[in-house]
Structure 1
Amino acid sequence: MLPVNQDKNVTENREIYVGGSDVPTILGLNKYKTQFELAQEKVGIVKSEFKGNEYTHFGNVMEPQIRDYINLVNETDFKPDTKTDKNRYVRSNTDGYDFENNMILEIKTHGANPTLKVYEAQMQLYMAQYGCEYGWLALYNRPDNFDTEFDSSRLKIEVVERDDEYVNQIYEAIETFWIRCEFLRDNPKATEQEFYNFGQNEVQVIANQVSKLEIQLAGFKEIEKQYKEAKQKLHDAMEEYDIKKFETDHIVITRVLPTERKSIDSTRLKKELPDIASRYERVSKVSGSVRIKLKEAN
């Protein structure tokens, strides 16, 4: 098996995609690399100097042995696999995917204190990418002497369930990361603070634009109020003098006769016949939005 840094699935077009190993960095869980440093690598300002070490080499040697053992004992069919989302620029290289059971396997060789939050963050992305409800986290306790002879007593498997709320947080963090990368690409000499503040600065600019439009809209609302009042007076006058139609140089005004409109009293229906009301209730997705309110003048 090739070392991780030579695996084409991992290295090819790496600057284009966010991978599972990048997610902990983007979320701030990686104590060895910052999001800013990762962004510098993605946009080509600096090159990653990491070429692997005894820990990654041990993991590369043990991974196929651990996967084969798990498949044999559990009658599963985990195989390394890659899933790419070209819309989000995300690529998931999972240590194993079992098509029949729709389940992913993540293999980690670790020391005395495994970084579970890091591992689980990667798995959440993989499970979302593959549409899995849960996955197996295989934890192999690395011996001090780095002995690569497989020892089943060192293996522990934990079941990790997909957390859709956490997945959404990950996707949002990735989207923000790519926005910051674009800023860094256009401003390669930007400081780390400028990199992190870019989103806030962008919000400030847009918020100022919205503020001006909101003030204009408030003026339009006053005009709309006056317009409705004028329309009502016009209707009353045409009704009083029995005028059905009136024209000016620019508009044609037609008086619409009163009529009845029937509708369902949904509040009363839900109160008096809740079972029937629930049968005809329709649920629609509501997109996220922002609520804006003008401040009262002092």
Structure 2
Amino acid sequence: MQDVTKDRDKYIGGSDIPIIMGLSPFKTRFELAQEKAGIREDDFKGNEYTEYGNYIEPIIRQYINEKYGYNFVEDKIINGNIRYHADGRDAGRSTTLEVKSTSQIHTDLTGYKKYSVQLAFGMDQFKDKHGLLAVYNRPDDFSKEFDPKRLQIFNIEREDVDEMLLLEIDPAVTNFVKDVEKLKENPFMTEEDLQPHDITRWFDRVTALEGQMLAFKDLEKQYKDAKENLKKAMEDHCIKKWTTNNGTQITLVPDGKDTTIEVFDEKTFIAENPEMAEKYMVEKTKKGRTGYVRITPPKDRLNTAG
């Protein structure tokens, strides 16, 4: 097996792509940039998960070759500051293979975004037309007995990843390279220093407004508590309505009584009459969730809040 860790800090490799795009739970983009700039050491030497991956990879590659008629062999390509190591490549069929072992299994390719971007990056480097993502459901006991039933294989065509490359991967890599150069020039730069001015400007605005919103929420709670106490006081003194000196009318609206109504049990009806319910099914477009910015305060702030 080729040594894919040698001179890693000098190149951007396939395994760096999920980190650069913020898809990795193990390392941040800024930490990786510091490593590439030579101001932070990558002290990860591997663990039982990477060891198992190294063991099962050639077994899966051979299985795919024998079962599906491929001729995948390990391959590597270097393009300037880019270096991609392929778990398998069949040059004759213009196909790149990426093998992953994990305990987090999904039913379709959308759940494996951090793997598919890596494969798409490799396909682009080799200029291959096809890609195969092989995901192996790693046993809890790390059994070394290969079980084909645990293997998922996804086909990816070049036309399917071109948009991802153009709109997501390539811009992310370009910006990352620029940030690494900035860190080399000034190793004391923080992650915030690397952000474009409009991002930090709007973040400062969001932070300021967040402080006002927190104060408003506290004020709103005090207001609701005061109104509840006023309501209770009027009930205690049997006062239903009164007028203040400036003409404001205060009216007690009593609690409503619980009532029982009949509603159509749609869930039970569909379960008991599936064929009849099918006649009334219509297609509707469900609007996708609107994206947003999630802001997570530092842990020390979370622990002292409230």
| TM-score (structure 2 length as normaliser) | 0.60
- Which amino acid letter does the alignment assign opposite residue 194 of structure 2? F
Gap change, CA 1:44 and 1:199, over 3 Å in 2: farther
Matched, 1:19 2:13: yes
Identity of aligned residues (%): 42
Instruction: Tell me which of 117, 121, 124 is aligned to 2:120.
Output: 124
Which string of whole-angstrom CA distances, capped at 9 and with x for unpartnered residues, describes residues 47-102 of structure 1? 1111111110100000011111111111210000001111xx21110100001111
SS state of the match for residue 100, structure 1? helix
- Which amino acid letter does the alignment assign opposite residue 16 of structure 1? K
Aligned CA-pair RMSD: 1.8
Q: Which residue of 2 aligns with 1:106?
A: 98
Matches of 1:199 and 1:26, distance apart in 2 = 21
- Which amino acid letter does the alignment assign opposite residue 119 of structure 1? Y
Q: Which residue of 2 aligns with 1:192?
A: 191
Q: What is the Cα deviation at residue 199 of structure 1? A: 10
Aligned residues: 193
SS state of the match for residue 137, structure 1? strand
Contact 2:20/2:173 (8 A) holds in 1: yes
Matches of 2:147 and 2:54, distance apart in 1 = 16
SS state of the match for residue 39, structure 1? helix
Structure 2: tracts of 5 or more residues without a match:
201-306
Structure 1: tracts of 5 or more residues without a match:
2-6, 202-298
SS state of the match for residue 159, structure 1? strand
Matched, 1:139 2:135: yes
Q: What is the Cα deviation at residue 173 of structure 1? A: 1.4
Q: What is the Cα deviation at residue 192 of structure 1? A: 1.4
Gap change, CA 1:180 and 1:198, over 3 Å in 2: farther
Contact 2:105/2:137 (8 A) holds in 1: no
Give runs of ≥4 in structure 1 deviating > 4 Å.
Answer: 198-201
- Which amino acid letter does the alignment assign opposite residue 133 of structure 1? K
Matched, 1:71 2:69: no
| TM-score (structure 1 length as normaliser) | 0.62
Which string of whole-angstrom CA distances, capped at 9 and with x for unpartnered residues, describes residues 103-129 of structure 1? 011111110336500000001101111
SS state of the match for residue 22, structure 1? helix
- Which amino acid letter does the alignment assign opposite residue 165 of structure 1? E
Gap change, CA 1:102 and 1:198, over 3 Å in 2: farther
Gap change, CA 1:199 and 1:100, over 3 Å in 2: farther
